[in-house]
Structure 1
Amino acid sequence: GGSPVHTAFLFPHKRDKQELKQLKANQTLLLEEIYNLTDLNKKVSSDLNIQVQNLTQEKENLRLQNQNLTTELDEVKNETQKLQKEIKNLKGQIETMDRHRNEQNASQAHPNCSSCQKGWTHSQSSCYSVNNAKPEDQKTWKEAREDCRGKSSHLTVKFVKDNSWNEKTIKGYWIGLRAVGREWRWIDGSELTNQ
């Protein structure tokens, strides 16, 4: 009768050993998995840190770009203001020049508003200059017309009838009258009248 009792004690002991062996194997697998997960966690953390650093650097770059763009915008605004002032000054100069030109035109049309140039004679609404050329310097009608044009004027129209110059060496003066075809015309285009 002692044999069966001895066998009953051997089986549980064997079962415990197998169970312990299985637990140890499971523990090894779990340790490997923990190791792998720890390694993966380190890699993910490292990648995440790199991404955070990259994003932080990118954010800093964008901040610097924004700062540069703001500075550039301020410079463009300042340059625009300078150009606007310059345009305003130029417009003022143009207006002044236009005013002076209009005053000159008005003074030529209305000499009472302003005197003629030095050496020129005022009559009615215009200014006149008499060129007493020496015989060797006397000009043809065309040359006289060009000489007048060079002085921003033209040969006289209708002024001679009220004036005469008594110079012994001068036999006559060119005036702004010429024959066009069979008609006499003033150089301003008006026809010669009985006046």
Structure 2
Amino acid sequence: MNERRATIKRQTSETDIAMTIDLDGQGHCDVATGIGFLDHMLNAFAVHGLFDLTVSATGDLHIDAHHTIEDVAIVLGRAVHNALGERVGIQRVGHAYVPMDEALGFVAVDLSGRPYTVFRAEWGTPAIGQFPTDLVEHFFESFAVHARLTLHARCENNRNDHHGAEALFKALARALRMAVDVDSRRAGVPSTKGTLSR
């Protein structure tokens, strides 16, 4: 198995982002986005997925957090896609339930090459710190599009938005970790079409 690591740099008039991910890491994380709750979620993603992740992002936070959150999700998706390469020998599909006190997050992913998202969660507050709660879904959708994967996510019994969002990010990490794991019995791509990367 080749090194499954990728570095992505993306600069626009709204954001400037540099990111490196190692899918076969140990959960080391060094992130700075200027949005405290986003940093917290990226750290949870790295730790629970056992991905080594470094992120440096600056954005137009004087406007709001939207562009930074969206663009970090885009770059994270592209980094995962590039690190996977041809997706040879992977499990392809993964899922995870993660409880966070009263909240129960569930995520299932299929590294199918076909971007699609189904997201179900209700929020009680407009924002968690500087992170608008309506952007949790947008983050997951943007990530799925650029990682080229199918993603289903839902949060149940959510009475605390911090708990609900964190349960979902941890579930995403654990589902993705399962999906990217190498299947020792599989020599090729887990698809009847013979490809997952196009």
Select the structure with the greater relative contact order (CA < 8 A; seq sep ≥ 6). Answer: 2
- Max radius of gyration: which structure? 1
On whether the aligned pair clears a TM of 0.5, the verdict is no
Between structures 1 and 2, the one with greater strand share? 2
Which one has the bigger helix percentage? 1
- TM-score w.r.t. structure 1 length? 0.20
